[in-house]
Amino acid sequence: MQTYFNEIADHLGTLLQGEEVYTASFSAEESDFVRMNKSEVRQAGSVTDRSIEVDLIDGNRHAAGSSSLSGDAEIDRLRVAALLGDLREKRAALPEDPHLLYATDVTSTERVAENRLPAPHEAVDQVRDAGKGRDLVGIYAQGGIHRGFASSLGQRNWFTNHSFNLDWSFYHAADKAVKEGYAGFEWDTAELQRKVDLAAKKLDALGRKSHTVEPGRYRVYLAPAALSDIVGLLCWGGFSLKMHKTKQTPLLKMTEDGVTMDARVTIAEDTVGGVAPNFQDAGFLRPDRVELIAGGAYKDCLVSPRSAKEYDVENNGADAWETPESLEVNAGGLPTENALAELGTGVWIGNVWYLNYSDRSNCRTTGMTRFATFWVEDGEIKAPLDVMRFDETVYRMLGENLVDLTAERDLILDAASYGGRSVASGRMPGALVEDFTFTL
């Protein structure tokens, strides 16, 4: 795949006219997919996909476009030639771009991870065995994800990673299910079994009569998947330089008023630990790690090349949206196996959905519990809870009301595959929080 991309990149260089410069971003995957329900395979397939995006630049005028690639060099040389012809016509009608910035200091890199994935049928057989006697519903995907960058200035960057992602549920009845996930770079049968055993206990509890609690404040445990969604909401402008400069960030109180979270909270863009490439589509490299919130205090933004040009600051390899792709929250001191006991009496939240801001400037979020949410008494699951709506500020959840974070963390890979497997990921602990507000 890498050799093929370099051949196409070299061919692009032969098509340039005058003082033109090109930058090109390559995206590809070789993936196996399996869909399951009733713990049986219902659909299986393999995908090999390639595409290229080219920005054709002349001075401060440029036009960008993309094309799928077939893998046949003769066909694809014609495709990219046609693409450049279209871009040249579009560029002629465009004004100069005052915020155009691309890498001119040539820095080539190569990062190819070892493929430690199991044979697809071995993983699927284990999942089927784990679901025997239950209705396991989900999708399993694994394989290589490739990204490349090239420019006519001679820069070449390549990234290959191999990962798997099992996004699954044990379905009970009606709208009742226990949702779990298992993802990573190397299959661990024992870890899968641990997750299955935990889900099976929750599935048994779903068969009990539902418990109802009144709106109010309760001690809660947010499982890693739930915390991932809540912290993920902060990515909607929370760490973007552009959003900070235009005062639209939900973390405005941290930057303007010095509001802090708990000193045990550190949130970072951990590129080296994720599945996203260590470069972006203008050719700038990403640091291995950017701390966004450190020790509870706001520390840094993600800065795209365009924002860097507009605000005259250094960029740090962020994408155009300035959102984290490899989000990480640090671990705490609470062993996950003790989470129920430490919760004592309260609400165990496995998943949330319909998240949004109810008061963006105050970082107040609203959402609903989903799937297996339980009422817990004296450290034991007593009954499932019906769906509830919550309304809380992140400053309270991860600030004054944070009891602890778990010592163990889950690697959570985005299961989205629209247009290709996502490279977004998160490494998340669970969080024990008191006085968590439910509104209905």
- Say yes or no: 81 and 113 in one domain: yes
Domain boundary among 160, 175, 205: 205
What pLDDT sits at residue 175? 83
Q: Pairing state of beta strands 156-173 and 109-112?
A: parallel
CA-wise closest residue to 271 among 331, 232, 326: 326
Please, what's the largest Cα pairwise distance for the chain?
75
- Say yes or no: 166 and 270 in one domain: no
- Chain segment 19-56, per-residue pLDDT in tens: 999 999 999 999 999 999 999 999 999 999 999 999 99
What pLDDT sits at residue 370? 87
d(CA 242, CA 230): 22
- Say yes or no: 249 and 283 in one domain: yes
- Say yes or no: 221 and 192 in one domain: no
Q: Output the six-digit token pair for 291.
A: 């701390």
- Chain segment 174-186, per-residue pLDDT in tens: 889 999 999 999 9
Q: pLDDT tens per residue, the chain (440 residues)?
A: 999 999 999 999 999 999 999 999 999 999 999 999 999 999 999 999 999 999 999 999 999 999 999 999 999 999 999 999 999 999 999 999 999 999 999 999 999 999 999 999 999 999 999 999 999 999 999 999 999 999 999 999 999 999 999 999 999 988 899 999 999 999 999 999 999 999 999 999 999 999 989 999 999 999 999 999 999 999 999 999 999 999 999 999 999 999 999 999 999 999 999 999 999 999 999 999 999 999 999 999 999 999 999 999 999 999 999 999 999 999 999 999 999 999 999 999 999 999 999 999 999 999 999 888 999 999 999 999 999 999 999 999 999 999 999 999 999 999 999 889 999 999 999 999 999 999 98
- Say yes or no: 132 and 190 in one domain: yes
Spell out the residues 6+ positions from residue 94 whose beta carbon is closer than 8 angstroms to its own.
61, 62, 63
What pLDDT sits at residue 418? 87
What is the full DSSP assignment across 174-189? Answer: TTEEEEEEEEESS--H
CA 83, 275, 329, 177 torsion: positive or negative?
positive
Domain of 184 in residue numbering reads as 2-205
- Say yes or no: 180 and 280 in one domain: no
CA-wise closest residue to 256 among 247, 268, 264, 265: 247
- Chain segment 191-223, per-residue pLDDT in tens: 999 999 999 999 999 999 999 899 999 999 999
- Say yes or no: 78 and 171 in one domain: yes
- Say yes or no: 32 and 173 in one domain: yes
Q: What is residue 263's three-state secondary structure?
A: coil
Report the CATH number at residue 182: 3.30.2290.10
- Chain segment 81-101, per-residue pLDDT in tens: 999 999 999 999 999 999 999
What pLDDT sits at residue 127? 96
Domain boundary among 167, 190, 205: 205
- Say yes or no: 173 and 256 in one domain: no
Q: What percent of the chain has pLDDT over 70?
A: 100
- Say yes or no: 384 and 236 in one domain: yes
Q: Output the six-digit token pair for 437.
A: 């507000």
- Say yes or no: 183 and 218 in one domain: no
What pLDDT sits at residue 428? 98
Q: Output the six-digit token pair for 118.
A: 């199991």
Structural domains in the chain (count): 2
- Say yes or no: 189 and 292 in one domain: no
Average pLDDT, the chain: 96
d(CA 362, CA 46): 45
Domain boundary among 153, 183, 205: 205
d(CA 254, CA 231): 15
CA-wise closest residue to 346 among 225, 439, 438: 438
What pLDDT sits at residue 393? 97
